[in-house]
Amino acid sequence: MAADPRFHRAGAALTLAEAAAAAGGELVGGDPARVVSGVGPLDGARPEDVSFLDNRRYLPKLAETQAAAVVLGRDFAGRVPEGVAAIVVADPKLGFGRVARRLFPQPAPRPGIHPTAVVDPAATIGDGVEIGPYAVIEAGAEIGAGCVIGPHAVVGEGVVLGEGCRIGAHASLSHCIAGRFVVLHPGARIGQEGFGFSVTPEGRFETMPQLGRVLLGDAVEVGANACVDRGSQGDTVLGMGTRLDNLVQIGHNVKAGRACVLVSQVGIAGSTVLGDGVQMGGQSGTSGHLTIGDRAQVAAQSGVMSDVGPGEVVGGSPAWPMRETLRAFAALRRLAGRPASKA
């Protein structure tokens, strides 16, 4: 359960006082000078680990934990067993994440260009950039300071990456301007031609030139094997902080605002616009040319076929306001003879 040192390099150990400070919380009980060096879940933590509790369903595990300290909310601070310290915070998951990050720092870039990387002379490489084996950086590309480009990644002609981006193994970018701290997970595909064509009178498909770009805001993250197509005459845009999980599809000309969360296998059809903070559950999808308002929430597997207003919560396929969808499920359940006590 502890972080396997085969894969995860620990940084310096911390005292409980330092751990509490990292978490932004208050140490209650425990020796502030006691040393911790790892993290683990409640039921797997060792005496040198810090753990966390963010859901009352795990209280039984809290009672049995061997962790040195547990990051948790004030409500449960009194429930820690004998010999275990509490680190009291407003948001246990966030606080614990910060302790974990202090104990296991993100590996820093190892500046340098692998001898096998192909870097066009007309590309610009910033300070402290790490470029891995067999990466390909094409003419006119601009790689910002401190970027990490993984093995086999392809950064296409003219692509711009702001500082601190991390491009995973086998990812590919073309026709893209990315801000700072953008993360592409392995196999992500950015900037390729979207699905745009006309039908000739003879019935042949004729591709419409896709003359736009992809714009990725600061801190955008794109999951493994996810795909973001470039625009046709304008741009496909993902706003600052937006995160796409694995295998997500973003069609051409889509605009997403800031801090949107698209869970795995979501599909957004072309020209749909998402506001800020839109959340889409796994395997959900939208038709094209729709508007999904700020902070709307779309349930997993939903099929959104009409506009959704700001803050609305929708579900089902076609997607309706959740209240109506739940009533529809309840009605279906009655028709199916299913006990009312089940979901």
191-220 residues in contact with its own copies (CB under 8 A) are: 192-193, 195, 197-201, 203-209, 211-213, 219
Using CB under 8 A, pick the residue from 41, 111, 126, 310 that binds its own copies.
41
CB 321 → its own copies: shortest distance, Å?
A: 8
Which secondary-structure segment (H or E) carries 38? strand 38-39
Q: Which stretch binds its own copies (CB under 8 A): 12-20, 29-37, 62-70, 182-190?
A: 182-190
Q: How far apart are CA 188 and CA 226, in angstroms?
A: 5
The angle that helices 16-23 and 92-103 make with each other, rounded to 10 degrees, is 130
Q: Which residues are CB-contacts of 62 (< 8 A; sequence separation ≥ 6)?
A: 42, 53, 70, 72, 76, 79, 80, 81
DSSP class of residue 308? B
Residues 222-281 contacting its own copies, CB under 8 A: 223-225, 227, 229, 233-234, 241, 243, 245-247, 249, 251, 259, 261, 263-265, 267, 269, 277
CB closer to its own copies out of 31 and 59: 59
Q: By CB under 8 A, is residue 86 in contact with its own copies?
A: no
DSSP class of residue 316? T
The token duo for 69 is 């300290």
β-strand 154-155 against 136-137: which pairing, if any?
Answer: parallel
Establish how many alpha carbons lie within 13 A of residue 16's alpha carbon, considering only the half-sphere containing its beta carbon: 25
CB closer to its own copies out of 78 and 115: 115
Which of 152, 175, 185, 252 is labelled catalytic? 252
Question: Taking a C-beta distance cutoff of 8 angstroms, is the pair 296, 275 a contact?
Answer: yes
x/- map, 138-157, its own copies, by CB under 8 A: --x----------xx-x-xx
CB 334 → its own copies: shortest distance, Å?
A: 9
Amino acid at 10: A
Query: Which neighbouring-strand residues pair with 52?
Result: 71
* Residue at token pair 């449960």: 76
Q: Which stretch binds its own copies (CB under 8 A): 11-19, 76-84, 123-131, 171-179?
A: 171-179
Q: By CB under 8 A, is residue 186 in contact with its own copies?
A: yes
DSSP class of residue 246? T
CB 86 → its own copies: shortest distance, Å?
A: 19
Residues 113-132 contacting its own copies, CB under 8 A: 114, 116, 118, 132
Using CB under 8 A, pick the residue from 35, 59, 63, 90 that binds its own copies.
90
> Catalytic site residue 185?
no
Active site amino acids = 252
